[in-house]
Amino acid sequence: MLTEEENEALCRVGPGTPMGNVLRRYWTPAFQLGDLPEPDCPPIRVTILGENFVAFRDTEGRLGFLDELCCHRGASLTLGRVEDCGIRCLYHGWKYAVDGTIMETPNLAATTFRERVKHGAYPVRAAGGLGWVYLGPPGTEPPFPAFGWASAPADEIVVSEIIMDCNWMQAQEGSIDSSHVGILHLDTLATMGSGPRSVGSFDFAGEPWDLDMQVPGGARREPGQAPRPGVWPSEDNAPRIELENTPFGFHYAAIRDVTDEPGKVYVRVTAFVMPYTALIGGSNGAVIVVPRDDYTCSTIGVFRLPPGTDPAAAAERARRGIDPAVWGPEPENRRLRLPKQDREAMAAGRSFAGFRGGNRVQDGAVQMSSGRMYDRAKEHLVPADLAIIRLRRMFADSIRLLEAGHDPVGRGEGADFRQVMAASQIIDAGQDWRDLVPGHQGSREPAN
């Protein structure tokens, strides 16, 4: 639980807010590189951390990330012309380079102004199919999180973004919440032919209900195929949680008894990289949650494909079984709308959650159902929520440290991001889960 004041501090991300100041001290994934596919292509508006920006790719292919409004009279540069190594405002023709240099001011002949003033511009790095920006004070950038998967060629990366109408912490806490997987995602596990078949006194009746849904890693059980218990080899819905801080954030392990194998445990190790990224056990990529403003966020899945895979086909598969009506009006239908639950299937015991479409729809439904900004004063956390509890503490510590003139925690100094990984494996009950993540660098000591 958090007090109202703590909740406000945790959730609000605009300029000058405690959390907004903290988040601006990390590299932020701001846009998809696929939205700026070629030199001089149309610019895009990007909303992150409660501010609007314009992103563009200039004639030389360089990425620019500038304050959205022209510094002359405030017209949006997203309407502008991208040409001759800059972006030009339509209103009076002022033109800007990717570094904010004011290249031309057609209605001001004197050069003194543009020689002395720059437009707001921010460092941009391209990695893992995303444009990452740094919005903090110049010279305070942390090491760039150069994940192993982020250096893959563009045609081996697939990016899938969902815009959700809720505060970002609701999605972020969901991304590190292991104990919901065998419950909310029971329909998904059933489609995979694996995992628990009951939640409390609820038991599945018969065959999986949504055979078209998208499942992690393509681990679908086709009709007529025998159950595949090895995909999720446990019916234990009360995992033991172990957690250790690392230079990048923390690793936590959800440890479950393995069905019919005494002495074995099923371990899923998640790496949480401050402040946006979760590498989840069993996945070959990352889930990144970025606040757009206080009431909307982007959940971005970045996954590495095996060499030779068609990225377009992979992206299409990522939406397999999701009703197009679920997706809203943003470009490429990125905004998630709550679908209608299939109450008939739920009542008949053929579905637990009643949401067709798989984990992303199920997650989005419950996360948005808490309201635009969830009040954490009334919640009753339990020990299984340890990762969520630690996440909030790391943010609270970071706010306090930054206000005292120090860096926030988990900025990755000393970490080799290429070695940061997750894991999902059956091991002997006596084996240490840390063995599964060699880049662990963990400590049980507080981060500060």
Partner 1 sequence: MSVVVDNACTQIWDALDSGAKVSSLRVSPVVYDAVAAARAGEVARHYPLMLLGLPLVADHAVPTYDPVVA
- 35 near partner 1 (CB under 8 A): no
- 389 near partner 1 (CB under 8 A): yes
Report CA-CA distances (Å) from 360 to 112, 181, 299, 355, 375. Answer: 53, 12, 9, 10, 23
Report CA-CA distances (Å) from 320 to 301, 357, 376, 400. Answer: 15, 7, 34, 44
- 385 near partner 1 (CB under 8 A): yes
Nearer to partner 1, 4 or 212 (CB): 4
Collapsing DSSP to helix, strand or coil, 229 comes out as: helix
CB of 228 to partner 1, least distance (A): 32
- Contact pick of 137, 263, 329, 378 for partner 1 (by CB under 8 A): 378
Q: Which residues of 252-272 are buried (b: 16+ CB within 10 A; e: fewer)?
A: bbbbbbbbeeeebbbbbbbbb
Rounded to whole angstroms, the Cα distance separating 193 from 342 reads 21
Nearer to partner 1, 4 or 207 (CB): 4
- 3 near partner 1 (CB under 8 A): yes
- 67 near partner 1 (CB under 8 A): no
- 397 near partner 1 (CB under 8 A): yes
Number of residues that bind partner 1 (CB under 8 A): 23
Q: Which stretch in 125-133, 216-224, 228-236, 381-389 sits in contact with partner 1 by CB under 8 A?
A: 381-389
Nearer to partner 1, 287 or 394 (CB): 394
CB of 385 to partner 1, least distance (A): 7
Cis peptide upstream of residue 123 (ω within 30 degrees of 0): no
Q: Which residues of 158-177 are buried (b: 16+ CB within 10 A; e: fewer)?
A: bbbbbbbbbbbbbbbbbbbb
Strand partners, 65: 55
CB of 250 to partner 1, least distance (A): 11
Rounded to whole angstroms, the Cα distance separating 444 from 294 reads 32
- Contact pick of 1, 312, 347, 348 for partner 1 (by CB under 8 A): 1
Q: How many CB atoms lie within 10 A of CB 409?
A: 23
Nearer to partner 1, 10 or 166 (CB): 10
Nearer to partner 1, 203 or 432 (CB): 432
- Contact pick of 227, 381, 413, 414 for partner 1 (by CB under 8 A): 381
Q: How many CB atoms lie within 10 A of CB 329?
A: 9
CB of 445 to partner 1, least distance (A): 11
CB of 18 to partner 1, least distance (A): 13
- 380 near partner 1 (CB under 8 A): yes
Nearest one of 248, 216, 276 to 418, comparing CA atoms: 248
Q: Name residues contacting partner 1, limited to 316-375 (CB under 8 A).
A: none
Rounded to whole angstroms, the Cα distance separating 434 from 414 reads 18
Q: Name residues contacting partner 1, limited to 223-252 (CB under 8 A).
A: 240-242
Binding site for partner 1 (CB under 8 A): 1-4, 6, 240-242, 377-378, 380-383, 385-386, 389-390, 392-393, 395-397
